[in-house]
Amino acid sequence: DPRGTYNCSVKGGQSAALQVHYRMCQNCIEVDAPTISGIVVADVVATVFLAIAVYCITGQDKGRKSRASDRQNLIANDQLYQ
């Protein structure tokens, strides 16, 4: 435990006190490089799957289908309108 009061003295007889407050982590988890890289890879894979799912859902044309009554058939008319 590095907490406490430390004294610094020089040859001339002068000294100075330094109070150190150090807090050690009680519930810390040490994360190494493979763990971080695994988290990053999992995040990228999840993002790709989510993007594919959104693309598949929005890519399907689920709008209303056109019915015969929705279309207007134009009749050819050779006469000129006045």
pLDDT of residue 46: 97
Q: How far is CA 16 from CA 5, 9, 20, 36, in A?
A: 10, 6, 13, 43
- pLDDT greater than 60 at residue 66: no
Give pLDDT tens digits for 4-16: 788 888 877 788 8
User: How far is residue 48's CA from residue 42's CA, in Å, rounded to a whole number?
Assistant: 10
The domain spans of the chain are: 3-60
Q: Which residues pair with 5 in a beta bridge?
A: 19
- pLDDT greater than 70 at residue 61: no
- Band of residue 51 on the pLDDT scale cut at 50, 70, 90: very high
User: How far is residue 12's CA from residue 60's CA, in Å, rounded to a whole number?
Assistant: 85
pTM of the model: 0.42
